[in-house]
Structure 1
Amino acid sequence: MSESTPSSGTPATSDPVATAPVPSAPVPTRSPNIWDSPDVYEVENLGVDRAGVIEAAMDALHPFAGADLVDVGCGTGFHLPRFVELGCASVVGVEPHPPLLEVAADRVAGLPRVRVEEGVAQSLPLPDDSVDIAHARWAYFVGAGCEPGLAELERVLRHGGTAFVIDNDATTSTFGHWFSRAYPTYDALAVERFWGRQGWSRERLTIRWDFDSRADLEAVVGIEFPETAAEGILAEHEGTGVDYAVNLWWRLF
């Protein structure tokens, strides 16, 4: 999923008043997997966690029924109808990339209690104290640098609300080993320490990547890993699925 990071401000003109440093609006960080290959990313979404392990863990911590929910970095809105099915009172998807936002809007057109808004994690288009659950899955919140987005979650969540961030656990599982090998600079311990400093807790979950065909698996591996790494993964792994460890980071506000 795509999200955003802050950018520094630049003067607009040579006018002495205008040249005073001012912050510019946050801009989206490019997410090549979904931005460049939304159709393949849709296949990936369909194959991730078909058993609903993540949903069940979230619901145990904060029930969906009757909750107002925001999906930060909703991409094409894949999860929005599901949150309605799970009983949320209202669902808002926030996405910064207009082509994805358009697909999300088409996906939820005519559905009750759900809408999409253009926006970034560090400037959510929501009032203070307006949601009970915040959900971000493989989006902007991956460690140091996402503090502005975390501050926004604190602003929009009501007292007693819960924020959830789903990200890879690169320390275990077949997928995790692929990830750590393909991205050797990813420091899982540093990420863990970051969330601890922010006062978040973790549920370690094991889900599945399961696809309908080998061709689907190959296509998804191709958008998630660099070319050389993807070739190595596919050469060593047979079949159409794999075990996949994730971290469900969460905090009660």
Structure 2
Amino acid sequence: MGDVGDVVNMGDVGDLHRLAIPSPNIWDDPDTYELENDGVDPERAIEAAMRAVQDWSGLAVLDVGCGTGYHLPRFAQTAGHVVGVEPHPPLAHRARERVTLLPSEVRQRIEVVEAGAQQLPLADASVDVVHARWAYFFGAGSEPGLDEVERVLRPGGVAFVIDNDATRSTFGGWFRRAWPTYDPLAVQRFWRRRGWERTEVDIRWSHRTRADLERVVRLEFAPAAADAILAEHEGTEVDYAVNLWWHRRG
């Protein structure tokens, strides 16, 4: 079950790139987003929650919207094969560079492909685990990508989507203030209508310095919102709630 099979040519990369919705953070400043990744979930609570549903040891893993490939090495430590799919060529290039720095026994299990979620370049029923971390943001509108996830999953395979839980936590409060039209309960209804299960996970941002926290806050929020957040919040970390949405293909 660890062999993901051949990557399929699904069309022109430029066309796939144009279909992607530009990320408001990592596309413009991947270095700061790397800093953010370094500070998110130091206890790896998200990974533990995922493994409680489905361990990926020896299996074929697909990371949709893998960005600079931050999570690829972690999956490849135990997975049989890992494919990272990323529509933005500069990020895919950085992901490949990251892979080249890994030990050969890990590197040989990873492949990075430029493609969009709407046309995953994988054969039907070829993947055991799909991971998308903040890649299907807000739920609604991501239906074409989710249909593709269903197509590439093997029977019994599991898809994971990690998204903000803006109903709780300090970060959730920041999020609601910054985007007052955002309806977190509507997002939950979206996933439940599609038959996905939810696991609530409590994590934190924990940064080495105040300057690092400020840099990440200014990446994630517009200037006025970031100024207000930083004026009222001291220290180098913040509590953060996420939803781990998951679906097992029948």
TM-score (norm 2): 0.90
Offset of residue 133 of structure 1 = 0.3
Equivalent in the alignment of 1:84: 76
1:44 matched to 2:36? yes
Offset of residue 28 of structure 1 = 1.4
- Provide the C-alpha distance between the structure 1 equivalents of 2:162 and 2:238, rounded to a whole number of angstroms: 18
- Provide the C-alpha distance between the structure 2 equivalents of 1:212 and 1:67, rounded to a whole number of angstroms: 34
CA deviations on 1:125-178 (whole Å, 9 max, x unpaired) are: 111111100000011353121111111011000000000000000000000000
* Long gaps (5+) in structure 1: 1-23
Equivalent in the alignment of 1:190: 186
Equivalent in the alignment of 2:231: 235
1:81-120 to structure 2, matched below 5 A, reads: 81-85=73-77, 87-109=78-100, 110=104, 111-120=107-116
Which structure has more helix as a fraction of its residues? 2
1:1-253 to structure 2, matched below 5 A, reads: 27-85=19-77, 87-109=78-100, 110=104, 111-253=107-249
Aligned residue type for 2:166: A
Equivalent in the alignment of 1:19: none
Cα–Cα, structure 1 residues 166 and 83, in superposed 2: closer, same or farther, change >3 Å? same
Equivalent in the alignment of 1:10: none
- Provide the C-alpha distance between the structure 2 equivalents of 1:142 and 1:68, rounded to a whole number of angstroms: 26
- Provide the C-alpha distance between the structure 2 equivalents of 1:142 and 1:180, rounded to a whole number of angstroms: 13
Calculate percent identity across the aligned residue pairs.
62
- Provide the C-alpha distance between the structure 1 equivalents of 2:230 and 2:178, rounded to a whole number of angstroms: 13
* Number of positions where the alignment pairs a residue of Structure 1 with one of Structure 2: 229
Equivalent in the alignment of 1:13: none
Offset of residue 64 of structure 1 = 1.6
Contact 2:136 2:161 in 1 (8 A): no
- Provide the C-alpha distance between the structure 2 equivalents of 1:142 and 1:157, rounded to a whole number of angstroms: 22
SS at match of 2:57: coil
Contact 1:121 1:140 in 2 (8 A): no
Aligned residue type for 1:108: V
- Provide the C-alpha distance between the structure 1 equivalents of 2:46 and 2:98, rounded to a whole number of angstroms: 22
TM-score (norm 1): 0.89
Equivalent in the alignment of 1:3: none
Contact 1:141 1:165 in 2 (8 A): no
Aligned residue type for 1:196: R
Aligned residue type for 1:192: Q
RMSD: 1.1
CA deviations on 1:163-205 (whole Å, 9 max, x unpaired) are: 0000000000000000011111111111011111100010001
Which runs of structure 1 show a deviation greater than 6 angstroms over 4 or more consecutive aligned residues?
none
- Provide the C-alpha distance between the structure 1 equivalents of 2:208 and 2:137, rounded to a whole number of angstroms: 30
* Long gaps (5+) in structure 2: 1-14
SS at match of 1:36: coil
Q: Which has the larger radius of gyration?
A: 1
